[in-house]
Structure 1
Amino acid sequence: MVTEVAAKRFTVEQFQRMADAGVFDEDDRLELLDGEILQMNPVGRRHVASVNRLTRVFARVVGGRALISVQNPLVLGPAAEPQPDLVLLQPRPDDYEGALPTGADAFLVVEVADTTLDYDTTRKAMAYARGGVPALWVVALGPTAEGDRVLVFEEPEDDAYSSRSEARRGDRLTIPGLPDVVISVSDFLG
């Protein structure tokens, strides 16, 4: 007789209640995806530097037209609450104190991938598309800085993005919802 082992799936509400109750260690880097609680990989120096550069560049170019949220939760549905590296959000007077932002609040999500490229471009990209995030940039860090590139996902349809492209140093990118904002990839690839 073969017995199937079933994983317990959680909702965003259950995940948040567990966090509020102190079930998780304060230093745990966790996210909820497809109802599964996942341990996030530790971040290295290049990852940290990339997120810092992105934050600095976005602060300069978007000003007050978007809220820059760094490594904070984004609710994508009843069973998904990842913690993207960076999100450009529509500004709100309460800075999202009343409720966590959702995919509908985002202009852009940015993930920095040094060890998580496959995960970020498949499972997480599917979750972002399902959650209605209009654009996803995956900053793919290569073995050396010369190999770095940005994978651009736009036009979400169901659980995929219908438009995919790649940008490298010297290329320029725009942000859906902020079309007058033009960013040079060279400014944040270091």
Structure 2
Amino acid sequence: MIIAAKWTIDEYHGMIASGILDNRKVELLKGDIVEMSPEGEPHAYCSDEAGEYLSELLGKLAKIRQAKPITLPNNSEPEPDIAIVQRLGRDYREHHPYPENIFWLIEYSNSSLEKDLQIKSKIYAEAGIAEYWVVNLKKLHLVVFREQLDGDYATKFTLTTGIIQPLAFPDISVSVEQIINK
């Protein structure tokens, strides 16, 4: 039997600081260092446009972090395409956002769809992230995960048009088309 070594967040940060992971596009998922898929043009365009839209829509209510790490208690430090987080200013010089700082997360998926829908959804649910959205770039729809239950999300639904209110901001109406960039 082959047993893979699992890494802690501190060990992962040590590798980053020492330069071992320079020029590698990786993230830590449940103790595994996982290669990240390269961003194609649709992925880069859609996530960038959605980030700008959300920044304008939410204003001072939240900070929009694009392709930056978040730190989760399950030995994970993924880099979601968009993290909508509390505005903590200089605190983020000392640590990446923790689950209690995160309003919701968005991933844009093309080649990483299976990982984002299955692996990352469980990691985010286990960590207590209240809401997680995945944009399927092939089918141009939005998959919404909500209501954590036993380390998974109890609610999952798909939208192609219309308006959605994020759980953290029920008075804010988000255009699905603006997130998908149809």
Same fold flag (TM > 0.5): yes
Does structure 2 retain, via aligned residues, the 8 Å contact 1:138–1:150? yes
Spell out, residue by residue over 1:135-159, the C-alpha distance to the aligned partner (whole angstroms, 9 max, x if none): 00000011xxxx3000000111232
In 1, Cα distance between the equivalents of 2:173 and 2:91?
24
C-alpha displacement of 1:102: 1.2
Aligned to 2:168: 177
- TM-score of the superposition, structure 2-length normalised? 0.95
What amino acid is aligned across from residue 45 of structure 2 in structure 1?
Answer: A
User: Size of the alignment, in residue pairs?
Assistant: 181
Aligned to 1:60: 56
1:30 matched to 2:22? The reply is no
In 1, Cα distance between the equivalents of 2:40 and 2:167?
29
C-alpha displacement of 1:78: 4.4
Does structure 2 retain, via aligned residues, the 8 Å contact 1:12–1:78? no
Q: Secondary structure at the match of 1:181?
A: coil
Q: Secondary structure at the match of 2:171?
A: strand
- Listed as ranges, the gaps of 5+ residues in structure 1 are none
Aligned to 1:15: 12
Spell out, residue by residue over 1:71-102, the C-alpha distance to the aligned partner (whole angstroms, 9 max, x if none): 11111114111111010001113251122111
What amino acid is aligned across from residue 118 of structure 1 in structure 2?
Answer: E
In 2, Cα distance between the equivalents of 1:133 and 1:168?
23
- Listed as ranges, the gaps of 5+ residues in structure 2 are none
- TM-score of the superposition, structure 1-length normalised? 0.91
1:187 matched to 2:178? The reply is yes
1:74 matched to 2:64? The reply is no
Mark the structure with the bigger radius of gyration.
Answer: 1
Aligned to 1:96: 92
In 1, Cα distance between the equivalents of 2:125 and 2:163?
23
Does structure 2 retain, via aligned residues, the 8 Å contact 1:167–1:185? yes
